[in-house]
């Protein structure tokens, strides 16, 4: 899975995990079967009320009840459900702007219009080819709209544990970190990691201030560097 980095206006770097091509295909298959199920349920429901597509009036009803929702499914779902369809939600995928901002209706509309070329007319061939070559998870519609699809599936790695990588020659700076316990530091690390990921610089600043007050110190570093130092210092002193 590829990833790309976004630098916010607050100079906070956010790493985004680009959705894998397999996940995107599976999400589309789920959406396709949902539309098929909707079609079958609606047809049988209309038939139960004695409405069949054997007259102009009935055909119009079929088109309004079945055709329009299916035609606009991807546009409406992504627009009103924050970049997700049912298939994307099932796999924790979401459409986002390549610069980290939230897509607007115009972006979703461009993606939807381009589906005709990317997916419908070529059975997804152009979309797959473009995504594999692009490196940022973008099909033609994404390139035109300035969007991509990311995976929000959480991974368990070293950064999500209490441990921090510390060089052998590491020199600690704040012995006051021993006022905290493992649960405190785990909470600090969770809040810090999520805030960096979501670009919530104001939360990072407040967290830094709270740590400094608890430790009764006045740090001479920026909030991000200070919190990094606290996490490393705690590991240094507690792993001795």
For residues 106 and 218, membership in a common domain is answered with no
* pLDDT at residue 159 in the model: 45
* Interior angle at CA 94, CA 192 and CA 25, nearest 5: 130
- What gap in Å lies between CA 166 and CA 177, rounded to an integer? 16
Kindly report the backbone phi and psi dihedral angles of residue 44, in degrees, each rounded to the nearest multiple of 5, phi listed first.
-65, -35
- What the block records as the tokens of 38 is 């909707």
- What gap in Å lies between CA 180 and CA 211, rounded to an integer? 10
Domain-ending residue, one of 102, 117, 151? 151
Domain-ending residue, one of 97, 123, 151? 151
For residues 101 and 48, membership in a common domain is answered with yes
For residues 173 and 215, membership in a common domain is answered with yes
For residues 168 and 125, membership in a common domain is answered with no
Give pTM, 2 decimals. Answer: 0.60
- The domain of 72 spans 3-151
- Token look-up 């002193």 returns 237
For residues 134 and 180, membership in a common domain is answered with no
Residue 25: CB atoms within 10 Å: 15
Q: Per-residue confidence of the chain (240 residues) as pLDDT tens digits?
A: 455 555 444 444 455 678 889 999 999 999 999 999 998 998 888 777 776 656 556 667 777 888 888 899 999 999 999 999 999 999 999 999 887 678 999 999 999 999 999 998 888 899 999 998 887 889 999 999 999 999 887 655 444 455 666 777 888 889 999 899 888 888 898 898 888 888 888 999 999 999 999 999 999 999 999 999 999 888 888 875
Beta bridge partners of 16: 4
Give the number of domains in the chain. Answer: 2
For residues 81 and 136, membership in a common domain is answered with yes
* pLDDT at residue 102 in the model: 84
Give the pLDDT confidence of 71-110 residue by residue, as tens digits: 999 999 999 999 999 999 999 999 998 876 789 999 999 9
For residues 105 and 175, membership in a common domain is answered with no
- What gap in Å lies between CA 214 and CA 226, rounded to an integer? 14
* pLDDT at residue 47 in the model: 76
For residues 164 and 104, membership in a common domain is answered with no
Q: Which residues in 208-228 are b (16+ Cβ under 10 Å) and which e?
A: beebbeebeeebeeebbebbe
Beta bridge partners of 212: none
Domain-ending residue, one of 129, 151, 173? 151
């Amino acid at each position: 899975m590829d990833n790309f980095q976004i630098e916010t206006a607050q100079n906070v770097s956010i790493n985004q995990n680009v959705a894998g091509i397999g996940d995107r295909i599976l999400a589309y298959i789920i959406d396709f079967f949902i539309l098929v199920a909707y079609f079958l349920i609606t047809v049988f429901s209309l038939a139960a009320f004695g409405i069949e597509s054997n007259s102009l009036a009935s055909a119009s009803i079929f088109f309004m009840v079945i055709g329009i929702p299916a035609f606009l499914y991807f546009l409406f779902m992504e627009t009103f459900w924050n970049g997700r369809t049912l298939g994307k939600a099932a796999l924790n995928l979401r459409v986002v702007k390549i610069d980290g901002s939230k897509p607007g209706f115009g972006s979703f509309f461009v993606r939807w219009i381009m589906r005709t070329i990317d997916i419908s007319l070529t059975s997804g061939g152009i979309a797959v080819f473009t995504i594999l070559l692009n490196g940022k998870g973008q099909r033609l519609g994404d390139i035109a709209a300035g969007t991509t699809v990311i995976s929000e599936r959480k991974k368990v790695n070293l950064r999500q544990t209490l441990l921090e990588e510390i060089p052998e020659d590491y020199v600690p700076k704040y012995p006051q970190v021993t006022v905290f316990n493992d649960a405190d530091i785990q909470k600090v690390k969770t809040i810090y990691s999520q805030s960096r990921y979501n670009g919530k610089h104001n939360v990072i600043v407040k967290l830094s201030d709270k740590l400094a007050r608890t430790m009764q110190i006045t740090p001479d570093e920026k909030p991000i560097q200070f919190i990094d130092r606290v996490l490393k210092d705690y590991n240094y002193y507690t792993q001795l």
